[in-house]
Amino acid sequence: MEKLYILKLTFLKKAGPFVERDFKKLINYLNDAGTLNDEEKSRYDINEDGELDAMDMYLMTQAISNGGTYEYKGNFEINPYSAKKQ
């Protein structure tokens, strides 16, 4: 009989450090009053959804108020018991 196991991984993701200047650059970009290079766009996309938006702005304010970095835990799970046979 074949045994199946559930694999669970937890990771800690950090973004930053950010300072007030970064926040101003992001606001200007979102208001079409400034530009960002590709590195800044990638760095400021804190939630990694491929878009710079109000959520990234919010997360950046959280980071700045917490010393410059934003940390969050992520979970990844593979459960073979919930898989469907194709």
pLDDT of amino acid 84: 56
Question: Hey, CA dihedral for 64, 65, 66, 72, is it positive or negative?
Answer: negative
pLDDT in tens, 47-56: 889 999 999 9
pTM value surpassing 0.75: no
Task: Give ∠ CA 76-40-37 in degrees, rounded to 5.
Answer: 135
Regarding predicted confidence, which is higher, 21 or 1?
21
Instruction: Provide the mean pLDDT of the chain.
Output: 86
At residue 86, does pLDDT exceed 60? no
